[in-house]
Amino acid sequence: MPAKNPRVSAVVDKALMKWLRSKAVDQGISVSLIVRDILARVRDEEEERYWVAAGEERLESFSQADAIEHDDAWS
């Protein structure tokens, strides 16, 4: 029977696998779910870094003189 979601296979060293299993036991979930949650967290952090950099870039190019007033933008 095909899997509902895509699968990823990874090779880890013994120490990392021991840590993953320990976290899984502590949280009462599978190693697979631990790895999935870690990957999702890393993705979210990368996305956050992207938007922070984009915001900082926009702030550097922002000109108060060229800014449009709130009421003018929404009217």
In the chain, where are the structural domains located? 14-60
- Measured between its terminal Cα atoms, the distance across the chain in Å is 57
Torsion over CA of 54, 55, 59 and 63, rounded to 10 degrees? 80
3-state DSSP assignment of residue 33: helix
Indicate the pTM of the whole model.
Answer: 0.74
Residues in Cβ contact with 37 at an 8 Å cutoff, skipping those fewer than 6 apart: none
Region for residue 13 given its phi and psi (left: phi exceeds 0; alpha: psi -120 to 50; beta: otherwise): beta
pLDDT confidence of residue 1: 66
pLDDT in tens, the chain (75 residues): 678 999 999 999 999 999 999 999 999 999 999 999 999 999 999 999 999 999 999 999 999 888 999 998 998
